[in-house]
Structure 1
Amino acid sequence: MTLILTPSDWDELCQQAPITCPQNFVLDEFEVLTGVPEYLGRGCNRVLELSPGMWLTLSDEAYCRDWMFKEPEHDHPIQIGICLSGFMHCDIHPKFGGTRSYFSGSGVSPAYVEQNHAGKRIIYVNVGIEPEVLKALFLGDRAWQSEPMQQLFKGEDWKVSFYPTVTARMRSLAQQMWNAPYRGAVKRMYLQAKVLELLAMQLDWLDGNRSKPSDGQLKPTTLNCIYHAREILSANLEQPPSVLELAQRVGVSDRTLQRGFRELFGKTVFGYLTEQRMELAEQWLRQGNCTIAEIATMVGYSNPGHFTAAFKRKFGITPRECLLGKMSVLE
């Protein structure tokens, strides 16, 4: 039977949990380190208070058994979440991770159940910002009173959530937060700047996304089919179905499927598949746990040369250069 934990259960277990983190790790005075309960798995969570009302959590967790986290209805801050590895499963949201991020406004969150699976490792960057902090950034500016911005300030109403596509730049920012090159007050300032840059990218997406007319050109039922097709592709990067097979699985014609991908994602089905493969490959290369040949196979390339060529077209560097830590020269 799957174990179900409440927030109080989790807090109690974490008080006695061992902390598994890199050797010689040193905490700064503004961060707290917690571990994962042994009988659930291993890993650690770093919570960094960057300023009053703004915090950053860096999580690296791997579970040895299936379990669920049951969260009751609660007040919710503005939140940004990006998975650098693995996927998050929650019954009130679509699965996010890979190229799907999480961006939520403040307000009241409904109760939810988060599912965690054995054998899966989650590396996650989570930003929390109190609504008053964001409002203060726009003090004297009417921009925060605009309709898109007001989606982030729901007060005692239900919060609104969005799922922006994770760009190479967003992923790079999340990785920089994990590997801050400074200590003490300078590190805190560095992380504040990275969080604000990430927030600016999400706000820009929110403003632009609400002005795009593309979704209105497709019927709601067709939209659901296209998004379902995207989920199938994301879950089968190594051995994806053909365009015809994919269209049949979601219940549209192959022509409608291609049109839907162009309108919603700005790419053909194959173009979208290639982009997801390359972004996932970059993520794995940055982690440094697999060889280039292994990663090529994991994202569906039997020929390493073809993988290298596709990767360089996407990022402007070779997989080997990425593995050695060189940053992308293309956006």
Structure 2
Amino acid sequence: MKTIQLSPPQPTAIPNQNRIDIPSSVGKGGIDILPFASGLQLMFVDMQLKQPTVFQGFLEKPSVCFGFCLKGKFHYRPSCLDQPFTVNAGDSGFFYYPRSVEAFEKATDKQRLRIHLILESEHLFKVVHGDEDRFYPVLKSIEKKTPCRIGHNITPVMRAVLYQMLHCPYHGMTRQLFLEGKAMELLSHKMEQLKSGSISGTPMKSSDTERIHQAAQLLVHDLEHPPNIMTLANSVGLNRNKLHLCFRQVFGLSPFEFLRNQRLQTAMVLLQDSEINVTQAAMMVGYSNMSYFTRSFKSMFGITPSHLRKSPSTAPPN
């Protein structure tokens, strides 16, 4: 297994964008880095590896990072943490490293696709100004300069924003504005996930977590005729309020938002099948109002279902 030390980023022909290319001996692709005037930095990691590879790099200054792994699996070992951890496709995480650190990343899958949001800690305090109590566990780690990692899943609404960023239709300054706006939108979803995960101040009971996953399965079992909220709560042995609270802690969404996103994602998969038209796809996932379905679909994916139906190659990958 090869060990590669990542080189410093270099300017590209695209204004305000730097890049780190990986050596051709290990694969193709690299890391694109876009700094924004807001202080937020966007990083795209897109690589095709020929073999499992260990990447060695340095984080030059204390930073807050939000990571979203769309494809690939890797093992990460920063020097400031006692134990390494594994990240799989579909994982998201919040990271805080209070000092410059050396990090080793062992990539075991050939394809890697990730997006990171990076900002300095003082910018995070500005973001949460006036709502500090809801983010106390996170802010406490930063104030005490204690390394911190909090793992979550990528929610459906986050995934939609991520793929809109990957398939940005614009160029030049318009692209810069679009990506900065989407980065801020993604940050808002991630902060809401962090906030909802710290509402109780204590971890959820494993039995409650199991009930929430059972509730999610009941919602997606029949997208055309899902249970109402009271039936769902009774089915898993929770009251309505606790169902909402625990659902947000596990998925970062309310049960209704989770159902809506699952319906729209299923519709997208159906529309990639040439035998299914827009009306059929909408009806199969529980939408009877075509105008509402079209608005919801475009709001989530940035493309109308009819456009996707005509040009399936423009759809985000699964």
TM range (shorter): 0.5 to 0.7
Distance 1:326 1:4 in 2: 35
Q: Report the Cα offset of residue 170 of structure 1.
A: 0.6
- 2:85 is paired with a residue whose SS is coil
Please point out which of 95, 101, 109 is paired with 1:104. 95
- 1:84 is paired with a residue whose SS is strand
Distance 1:94 1:280 in 2: 28
User: How many residues end up aligned between the 2 structures?
Assistant: 251
Q: Report the Cα offset of residue 186 of structure 1.
A: 2.7
Distance 1:186 1:170 in 2: 22
Q: Report the Cα offset of residue 129 of structure 1.
A: 0.9
Mark the CA change 1:326 to 1:11 in structure 2 (over 3 Å): closer, same or farther.
Answer: closer
- Residue 113 of structure 1 aligns to which amino acid in structure 2? F
Does residue 125 of the first structure (1) align with residue 121 of the second (2)?
no
Please name the residue that 2:126 is paired with.
136
Q: Report the Cα offset of residue 56 of structure 1.
A: 0.9
Distance 1:73 1:33 in 2: 16
Structure 2: which 5+ runs fail to align? 78-83, 214-235, 238-242, 252-257, 288-292, 298-304
Please point out which of 158, 164, 168 is paired with 1:170. 158
Distance 1:83 1:35 in 2: 19
Structure 1, 309-318 or 29-38: larger mean CA deviation: 309-318
Please name the residue that 2:135 is paired with.
148
Structure 1, 193-202 or 64-73: larger mean CA deviation: 64-73
Please name the residue that 2:85 is paired with.
93
1:48-70: CA deviations, max 9, x gaps?
11226321111210111222234
Please point out which of 65, 89, 106 is paired with 2:51. 65
Structure 1: which 5+ runs fail to align? 16-25, 230-257, 267-271, 294-303
Does residue 198 of the first structure (1) align with residue 186 of the second (2)?
yes
Say if 2:19 and 2:33, in contact at 8 Å, map to a contact too: yes
Mark the CA change 1:309 to 1:35 in structure 2 (over 3 Å): closer, same or farther.
Answer: same
- Residue 188 of structure 2 aligns to which amino acid in structure 1? A
Please name the residue that 1:10 is paired with.
6
- % same residue: 18
Distance 1:115 1:314 in 2: 43
Q: Report the Cα offset of residue 212 of structure 1.
A: 4.3
Please name the residue that 1:323 is paired with.
312
Structure 1, 196-205 or 49-58: larger mean CA deviation: 49-58
1:272-308: CA deviations, max 9, x gaps?
9xx99x96996x999xxxx859xxxxxxxxxx9xxx9
- Residue 186 of structure 2 aligns to which amino acid in structure 1? L
- Residue 53 of structure 2 aligns to which amino acid in structure 1? W
Say if 1:85 and 1:124, in contact at 8 Å, map to a contact too: yes
1:131-163: CA deviations, max 9, x gaps?
22233345xx432x3252561461562222222
Q: Report the Cα offset of residue 33 of structure 1.
A: 3.0
Please name the residue that 1:19 is paired with.
none
1:23-72: CA deviations, max 9, x gaps?
xxx94210123322111111132211122632111121011122223457
Distance 1:214 1:182 in 2: 44
Does residue 51 of the first structure (1) align with residue 37 of the second (2)?
yes
Mark the CA change 1:280 to 1:53 in structure 2 (over 3 Å): closer, same or farther.
Answer: farther
Please name the residue that 2:169 is paired with.
181
* TM-score of the two chains, using structure 1 as the length reference: 0.58
Please name the residue that 2:301 is paired with.
none
Please name the residue that 1:242 is paired with.
none
- 1:158 is paired with a residue whose SS is coil
Distance 2:42 2:281 in 1: 36
Mark the CA change 1:33 to 1:216 in structure 2 (over 3 Å): closer, same or farther.
Answer: closer
Kindly report which structure 2 residues correspond to 1:274-285, keeping only aligned pairs within 5 A, or say none.
none
Say if 2:44 and 2:114, in contact at 8 Å, map to a contact too: yes
- 1:97 is paired with a residue whose SS is coil
